Structure 1
Amino acid sequence: ELNALVDETLTNSPTLQQAWARLAQAEAIAVQAGAARYPSLGYNAKAEGTRNSATDTTVENYSVGLAAAYEVDLWGRIKSQTEAAALDRDASRELLNTAAITLSSQVALRWTGIVAQRLQTELIHRQLKSNQTSLELIELRFRKSLSTALDVYQQRQVVAGTESRIPLAELREELLLNEMTALLGRADFQSLEIPDEQLPRLGTLPNIGIPSDILANRPDVRQAGLRLQSADWTVSAARADRLPAIRLTASGGYANAEISDIFDDWMANLAASLTGPIFDGGRRKAEVERARAVADERLAAYRETVINAIKEVEDALVSEQKQRDYIAALDTRLEAATRSYEEAVNRYRNGLVEYTTVLVQLAPLQALERDRVEAQFNLIRYRIDLYRALGGSWTNELGEPQRSE
C-alpha cells in the first residue's frame, strides 16, 4: 500500500512535475549553449523587378544564396558557456532527485501518521468503553449505598473527558488524509482510502558508511557541487569575453536576370573578422567580478549543504537512539502505572480507599497508554528522517512523464 502511494506521488505530484519542467528548461538552455560550438548556416532567396517608365520596360533579377558563420573559440569562451550550461542542467536533475526523496519521505511520514492516529483513536475508544463500564459499576454500587454521589460525578467527568478526545483525534486523522491527498496530486479529497494497518516494526539501522558516502548519495550535495562548478566556468566565460573574438563568414549564391538560368552565374565570398572591446564603461570587468562573487556564494552554499547533510544524519541517529531509550523508560512507567491502578481498584472494591485514589492512578495510566502510541510513531518518524538524510541513487531511475506536445 505504501509503495503504491509513493509511486503515485512520483507520477502525479505537481511539485515533481514542476521539477521535470525546470529540468526540460535547463536541457534546452544547454542545447542552445552547445550550438555556438558549430557553424551557423542560413539561406536567402530574392526576386526583384525595376520598371523604367521612359522605355516602358521592366528589368527582373533573381538570386539565391547561402551564408555560413563560425566563431573561433580562441579563448575558450564558448566552451566555458557550454560547460556551465551542461552543469546547470545536471544540477536541475539533482534538484529533481532531491524533490523525489523529499516527497517519498513525506508520503511515508503521512501514511505512518495516519496509521498511528487511527491506533490512537482506537485506544481512546477502548479507554472510553472501560471508563463507561467503571461508571456503570460505580452507579450500581451507589444504588446499593456502597459508593457516594461524589464517586459517580467524578467518574462521569472522566467519561466526558475521554469522549472529548475523540473528535480531536478524528480531526487529526482527517487533516493527515487531506495532506496525503494533496501530496498524491489528487483534486478529489474524498477519494483516498487507507486500510487499517499496524505500525511497522523497525529493522536494524542501515549501514551509514563514512561521511564521503553520505555526501555522494545526497542529491542536494551533488547539486550544490555542480552549481559551484558551473559558476567557475561562468567566470572563465566572463574573462574570455573581455578578449578579442575571431569570426569567419562565408557566403555564396547564384544570380541571373532569368529565373530559368539562375544557377548559371555563381559568386562566393569568404571573410574573417577580429572584434574586441575598446571601451565599454567597465561592463565586462564588472561581469567578471559578478561571476566571481557568484562562485564565492556557491562555494559557501556548498559548504553549508555538506555540513547540514552530515548534521541531519547525526540528528536522525541520535534521535532514534534516545527515542528507544525513552520508550524503554515509558514501558517501565506503564507497567508500574498498570499495577498501581489495579491495586487501587482492588482496595476501593474492598472499601479500603476512596474512589479518588482510583482516579489518581487512572489518569496517568491512560495518558501513558496514549504516549506509548505516539512514542512508537516518533521512533518510526526518526527512521524516515534517517533514510531521507542518507539520500540514495534510486531516483536516477525515475523516468520523465509524458509531456504534451
Structure 2
Amino acid sequence: MKRFKVNMNYQKNFFSCFVENMGITRKHSVTISVFFLAYAAISMTACSPKTMTATLPMDSPEAFSYSGDQTPPQEWWTTFEDQELNVMVDQALDSNFNLLTVWFRFREAQAVVDRQSSFLLPDIEASVRSSLNRPQPDFVGGENVQLGLSAFYEVDLWGRIHALVDAENYRAEATFSDYQAAAISLSGEITSTWYQLQAAWQQLALVEEQIETNEKILSFIKAQFGSGQIRSVDILRQQQLVEATREQKILTESRIEVLEHQLAVLQGLPPQNEIVYSPDSLPALPPLPETGIPMELVRRRPDVQSAFQLLQASDREMAAAISNKYPRLSVSTSIQLRANNFDNLFEDWAYSLAGNLVAPLFYGGRLNAEVDRTEAVKNQRLYEYGQTVLVAFQEVEDALIQERKQLESIEVLEEQLLLAEQAYGQLRIEYFNGMSDYLAVLTALNQEQQLRRDLISSNLMLLQYRIALYRALAGGFEMARETENRL
C-alpha cells in the first residue's frame, strides 16, 4: 500500500483555495506545489538587497616624493646579492612558527567558507530504527522496523546565504593577505637581523683594533714616564680608555650572541643551534627602487588588501542582515518505510513534500538593530581601510626621506672623522713637544675612535632604511596555498 502526503505549511489558505477553485485534483497538487515553489524562488531572488560600493575615504596622491628606476623584485632581499641571506630567508619562510600559525589561521578561514557554503545545498538525513517488544501475555508484542530518508532546503530568496558565503570568502582572502604580510615582515626581520649581526662583527673587529692601538699607546707613555714628560695621571687616563674599549668589546660580543639566537629562532630553530655563516662587512646600498604611483601600492600591499577584503566582508554581512527582514522559504521532503519485520519493509511506505514560508512580523526591533550594527561595522572597516592606506603611503615617504637624510648624515660623519684624525695627529705632536696637555690628546683619540664606531652604525641604519623601503613597497610575493607545501 502506497500512501502519499502533501503538507504546505506556509498558511494553507492560499494554495488550498487555488487548487480547489481551479478544480485541480490531489494527484496533480504535488506538481503544482513544486512549480509554485520554484517560481517563487526564481521571481524573488531578483529582489536580493544591494549595498553601496565603498571607495577610499580620501584622495590619493599622484606620486611619491622620490623614485628610482630599478623595479624591485617580489623577493626584494635578493637585491643585496647575499647568498647566505637568501638561504636564511628561505628557511624562515618554511619553518618559522609564527608564520605557520598565520597559515593555519588561513586554513581555518577556508574551512569556515566550506561550512557556510554547505547551506546552499539541501540537508539530507537517513534514519533507521528497529525495536523488539516483549510485553506481558495479555498484550500483543512483536518486532518493529522503520527506515527513513529526509531532506531540508532553504531557498535563498534574497541572496542571504550567498551573501554570508561571500563574506566568509572575503574574510578568508583577508587572512591569506595577512599571511603574505607576515611573510614580508618575517623576511624583513631576517634581513635586518642579519645585517645587524654583520655590523656587530664589523664593530667587534674595529674595537679589537682600537684596544690594540690603545694598549700600544699605553705601553709607549709608560716607557716615557721616567723622562719626566709623562705624568702618572696621563697613564691612568690611558688605562681608563683601554678598559672602556674592552667594555665595548664585551657588549659587542654579547650583542653578537643575542643576534645569532634571534636568527635561529626566526628560522624555527632552537637558539642553542650554532648558525654557520661567514662574518662579512655591510654590503653596498643597491640602487634606489622605482616607487611607482601610490594607487599601485594600494593594490600591491597585502595589508591594504586585507583591510579592503574585510571591508567587503562587512558589506556582505550587512546585505545578509537586510535579507533577514524578508520572508524565508524552505522546502522539505521525506520518505519512510515501516514494517513489523525486515522482510516486509518495502511493502508499505509513505513520503511527503512540505513548503514553509515564514515572514517576520514583530521582533522588537531586533532585525533593524542588527542592520544598524552591521552598517556601523562596515563604516569601521571603511575607515580602517583608509587608515591602512595612509599608513602605507607614510611608510614609503618616511623610508625615502630617512634614506636620503641618512646619506647626508654619513657624509657629515665621514668629514667629522677626517677632522678628528687630523686633530688627534696634531695634538699628539704638540703633546710630545710639550705644547699640549695629554687630556686633549686623549679626548681627540676617544672622539676619533667613537666616530669610527658611529660610522658603522650609520651605515647599518642606512641599510635599515632601505629594508624599510623595500618592505613598504613589497607586494605579496607568491606563497603556496597547499597545506603540504607549508609543512
Query: In structure 2, the residue corresponding to 1:131 is in which secondary structure?
Result: helix
Instruction: Give per-residue Cα distances to partners, 1:95-137, cap 9 Å, x unaligned.
Output: 1111111111111111111111111121111111101111111
Q: 2:103 aligns with which of 5, 20, 23?
A: 20
Q: 1:357 aligns with which of 440, 449, 454?
A: 440
Residues 1:107 and 2:190 aligned together: yes
Residues 1:253 and 2:253 aligned together: no
Match of 2:354 in 1: 271
Q: Within 5 Å, give how 1:74-85 maps onto structure 2.
A: 74-85=157-168
Query: In structure 1, the residue corresponding to 2:282 is in which secondary structure?
Result: coil
**Which AA in structure 2 matches 1:302?**
Y
- Deviation, structure 1 residue 215: 1.2
More displaced, 134-143 or 81-90? Answer: 134-143
Match of 2:142 in 1: 59
Residue 184 of structure 2 contacts residue 476 of structure 2 at CA under 8 Å; is this kept in 1? no
Match of 2:310 in 1: 227
Instruction: Give per-residue Cα distances to partners, 1:311-337, cap 9 Å, x unaligned.
Output: 001000110000000001111111111
**Which AA in structure 1 matches 2:300?**
N
Instruction: Give per-residue Cα distances to partners, 1:249-287, cap 9 Å, x unaligned.
Output: 111132222312312333211111112322222222221
Cα distance in 1 for partners of 2:158, 2:259 equals: 58
Instruction: Give per-residue Cα distances to partners, 1:128-186, cap 9 Å, x unaligned.
Output: 11011111111111234442323322222221222222222222222222322332222
Residues 1:342 and 2:425 aligned together: yes
Normalised to the residue count of structure 1, the TM-score between the two structures is 0.94
Q: 1:119 to 1:277 in 2, by over 3 A?
A: same
In structure 2, runs of 5+ residues without a counterpart are 1-83
Q: 1:288 to 1:392 in 2, by over 3 A?
A: same
Query: In structure 1, the residue corresponding to 2:364 is in which secondary structure?
Result: coil
Residue 430 of structure 2 contacts residue 436 of structure 2 at CA under 8 Å; is this kept in 1? yes
Residue 109 of structure 2 contacts residue 171 of structure 2 at CA under 8 Å; is this kept in 1? yes
- Deviation, structure 1 residue 233: 0.2
Match of 1:169 in 2: 252
Match of 1:371 in 2: 454
Where relative contact order (Cα < 8 A, 6+ residues apart) is larger, the structure is 2
Match of 1:90 in 2: 173
Residue 11 of structure 1 contacts residue 401 of structure 1 at CA under 8 Å; is this kept in 2? no
- Deviation, structure 1 residue 38: 1.0
Q: Within 5 Å, give how 1:2-13 maps onto structure 2.
A: 2-13=85-96
Instruction: Give per-residue Cα distances to partners, 1:6-34, cap 9 Å, x unaligned.
Output: 12222222211210121111111100111
Cα distance in 1 for partners of 2:385, 2:418 equals: 49
Residue 100 of structure 1 contacts residue 395 of structure 1 at CA under 8 Å; is this kept in 2? no
Match of 1:318 in 2: 401
Query: In structure 1, the residue corresponding to 2:120 is in which secondary structure?
Result: coil
Instruction: Give per-residue Cα distances to partners, 1:295-323, cap 9 Å, x unaligned.
Output: 01101100000000000010001100000
- Deviation, structure 1 residue 207: 1.1
Residues 1:136 and 2:233 aligned together: no
Query: In structure 1, the residue corresponding to 2:224 is in which secondary structure?
Result: helix
In structure 1, runs of 5+ residues without a counterpart are none
Cα distance in 1 for partners of 2:194, 2:484 equals: 25
Normalised to the residue count of structure 2, the TM-score between the two structures is 0.79
Instruction: Give per-residue Cα distances to partners, 1:343-397, cap 9 Å, x unaligned.
Output: 2223333444332332232121111101100000000000111111112131434
Residues 1:299 and 2:367 aligned together: no
Match of 2:463 in 1: 380
Residues 1:35 and 2:118 aligned together: yes
Residue 101 of structure 1 contacts residue 395 of structure 1 at CA under 8 Å; is this kept in 2? no
Cα distance in 2 for partners of 1:397, 1:389 equals: 22
Share of identical aligned residues, percent?
33
Residues 1:215 and 2:321 aligned together: no
**Which AA in structure 1 matches 2:113?**
A
More displaced, 225-234 or 382-391? Answer: 382-391
Residue 50 of structure 1 contacts residue 60 of structure 1 at CA under 8 Å; is this kept in 2? yes
RMSD: 1.9
Query: In structure 2, the residue corresponding to 1:246 is in which secondary structure?
Result: strand
Q: 2:265 aligns with which of 158, 182, 187?
A: 182
- Deviation, structure 1 residue 57: 4.3
Cα distance in 2 for partners of 1:60, 1:81 equals: 47
Cα distance in 1 for partners of 2:311, 2:160 equals: 18
Cα distance in 2 for partners of 1:366, 1:387 equals: 32
More displaced, 390-399 or 204-213? Answer: 390-399
Q: Within 5 Å, give how 1:154-165 maps onto structure 2.
A: 154-165=237-248
Residues 1:46 and 2:129 aligned together: yes
Residues 1:123 and 2:206 aligned together: yes
- Deviation, structure 1 residue 54: 4.8
- Deviation, structure 1 residue 50: 4.3
Q: 1:399 to 1:245 in 2, by over 3 A?
A: closer
**Which AA in structure 2 matches 1:248?**
V
Cα distance in 2 for partners of 1:403, 1:65 equals: 44
- Deviation, structure 1 residue 246: 0.3
